[in-house]
Amino acid sequence: MLLTGDIAAFLLFGFIGLASHEESVTASIVARSLLPFPIAWMMIAPNVGALDPRARIPGVLGVWVVAGVIALVARSVLFDRELFNAFFVISLFGNGLFLAIWRVIYGRWLAPSAGARPSR
C-alpha cells in the first residue's frame, strides 16, 4: 500500500503539471514527464529502507532528493532535455511535497498501527 501511494503521489503531481500546461496526454509525454520519477523511486527506495512504514519523513525526503535527481538526469539523457531549468526545481519540490503529504496521511490514518495511536 505504501509504495502504491508513493507512485500515485508522483503521478498525481505529474498529471496536475500536465493539466496546468494544457498538455495532451500522449505516451511520449507520459514517458518523458511522469515515468522517470516513480521508476527511480522504485529502484532506490526499497534498497535504503524508504519503504519501511516506520521511516520518518525527513529520511524519506532525503532519499527522494537522490531518486529525483537521478530521474531528472535520466530524463535529460534519454529524452535530450535540458537538465537545469524550472522543471528541475519544480519537479523535485513538487514531487517531494506530494510524497510527504501522502506519507503523513498514511502514517496518521492508514498505517496498520494507526488505529492504535492516540488522536491529537
Residues 12-24: pLDDT tens digits?
A: 999 999 889 876 7
**Closest CA relative to residue 29, chosen from 42, 44, 43, 17:** 17
The pLDDT of 109-120, averaged and rounded, is 62
Domain of 43?
Answer: 2-116
Per the confidence metrics, is the pTM higher than 0.75? yes
Domain count, the chain: 1
Report the chain's mean pLDDT, rounded to a whole number: 91
User: String of b and e for 41-54 (b: at least 16 CB within 10 Å)?
Assistant: beebbeeeebbeee
Rounded to 5°, the CA angle 104-75-105 comes to 5
How buried is 113 (Cβ within 10 angstroms: 0-12 exposed, 13-18 middle, 19+ buried)? exposed
CA distance 12 to 55: 22
